[in-house]
Chains A and B, each alone.
Chain A
Amino acid sequence: MDIPGDLKFAPSHEWVRVEDDGTITIGISGHAQEQLGDLVFVETPEIDHQCEAEEGIAVVESVKAASDIYAPVAGKVTDTNAQLGDSPELVNSDPYGEGWIFKMQPDDLEEVEKLMDPDDYESFAEAAE
């Protein structure tokens, strides 16, 4: 699966995209959804929840296992993907698009820059396999 070039990645396999309004959108990587297999539930975080970096705030659950989704940076949750309630499979079919999980207003946008570039993430994910 091709990774869009404008994304950043956390070592816990979340992707992050910086939007024009300074918010960030978060989902899980194509590699992560492939490892989990068919998703059957996604528990999205509470809107307005103020979280620390690396705090587990969402859960994706597949036939096989449950996995925590971590906030890649500190900030406040501003939106969640309501479609995932009925269609968790969007995370499998379109992890970098329709399968986004939540949006945040980061406390410090520069923290996002410290995350991995797509190429680095790809090598990281391959090495972890």
Chain B
Amino acid sequence: MTIQTALHQVHLDGAAKLVDFSGFSLPLHYGSVIDEHQAVRESAGMFDLSHLYIIEAIGHKATHWLRILLSNDVAKLTDGHGLYSCLCREDGGVVDDLLVFRVDEYRYRLYIDAARREKTLAWITAHLTRGVEIVHITNTAVVAVQGPDAVGCAETAIKALGLSLPLADLPRFAARQDGSWFVSRTGYTGEDGVEISLPSHLAAALWQALSALDVKPAGLGARDTLRLEAGFSSYGQDIDERHTPCESGIDSTIDIDDEKRPFVGREVLEDQKMFGGQFFQIGLTLDGPGMLRRGAAVELVGQTIGSITSGSFSPVRGASIGLARVSRKFTGSCDVTVRGRLQPARITSVPFVPHGLARE
């Protein structure tokens, strides 16, 4: 039994191919992954992210508690700003990666992906201290609008629903709230855009208002190719409990600036932030035909040094790209197993598609 989001009927009407995504029935695509990908790169696309689970940490100890729980430092935040962080174990392994927003000093809002929801909620509950209360935000849908035209379209669509949430001046990683609407200038595509959480019963109306502005519905398939081009790691593929953020391409989530901040995993992560982990992440491009697929071995002069953690096709580059976790530093090329045969792949700087490149 899969959970249907508030947009389920809208997806069915849009001829979506639905798949089970961590217990949620969500669109893989609405016909063509590549068309949806290009719409986000060239104009605007929208995604149903209602599988995200939202909690708020409230209380006079909220800031203090999150500074210990998270690898990134919420003390950097002012009201209405957010950051990307990891939740790490003592040994540095990643329990989850998430977005956290400071509503005010005593209230933070956390977005947790469906894939890790139970583990992460259990971890948070186990580490809860006095002076902090967790409130579960339910009956909420999440819609991401992404692409160069996304912010303007989102502002217009929200206005059409009778709200006034000006977005054009909203800085990256900042958020604005109106009642139970919460809009942040964030995304997972490498494009400008917003992520909107709103009451479930208004989700279909928002989707239709966006649709009227030619914002194209996009599914999980395009979400994956977009985030890969942008070089973003994904939990379950590039990130797991057995590896640290430094070994997963997300060492930017570790903040060791405040020497006195004793966050979970600090001992291991501080050392790795300075000297590196046992493994590290690289970006690879396959020059020939074929696809880099998760699990494929990466070889350097006949020796296996790691494997592809996520691979797909880059519509903008017109070639297969992938992220790999390897144990040795090298420059230039290596070999990757593609359908049982070794094929040359080139080290490529990440992001594969820098912001805005697709429109040049």
Q: Contact residues of A with B, CB < 8 Å?
A: 37-38, 40-41, 43, 59, 61, 63-64, 66, 89, 92
Contacts and interface: CB of A to CB of B under 8 A. Distances in A.
Interface string B294-335: 000000000000000000110000001000000000000000
Given A37-B29, A37-B33, A63 B313 contact: yes
B221 A63 contact: yes
Contacts of B32: 37-38, 92
Contacts of B28: 37
B76 to A, nearest CB: 37
Nearest to B314: A40
B221 A41 contact: no
Interface in B61-118: none
Identify the interface centre among B35, B312, B313: most chain A CB within 10 Å of its CB.
Answer: B313
A66 B29 contact: no
Interface in B10-34: 28-29, 32-34
Given A38-B32, A59-B339, A66-B339, A43 B289 contact: yes
Nearest to A86: B318
Given A40-B313, A66-B339, A61 B34 contact: no
A45 to B, nearest CB: 14
A63 B289 contact: no
Contacts of B339: 59, 66
A86 to B, nearest CB: 10
Interface string B206-227: 0000000000000001000100
Interface residues of B, number: 16
B143 interface: no
B33 A63 contact: yes
Q: What secondary structure prevails in chain B residues at the interface with A? A: mixed
Given A37-B221, A66-B339, A61 B290 contact: yes
B221 A40 contact: no
B46 interface: no
A66 B291 contact: yes
Interface in B29-63: 29, 32-35
* Residue from B34, B225, B293, B312 with most neighbouring chain A CB atoms (10 Å): B34
Contacts of A41: 289-291
Nearest to A40: B313
Nearest to B290: A41
B34 A38 contact: yes
B244 to A, nearest CB: 30
Contact of B221 (A59, A64, A89, A92): A64
Nearest to A93: B32
Contacts of A89: 34
Contacts of A43: 289-290
Given A38-B33, A38-B35, A41-B290, 14 more contacts: A37-B32, A37-B33, A37-B221, A40-B313, A40-B320, A41-B289, A41-B291, A43-B290, A59-B339, A61-B290, A61-B291, A63-B312, A66-B291, A66-B339
12 contacts: A38-B33, A38-B34, A40-B34, A40-B313, A41-B290, A59-B339, A63-B33, A63-B34, A63-B312, A63-B313, A64-B221, A66-B293
Contacts of B225: 63
A41 B34 CA distance: 13
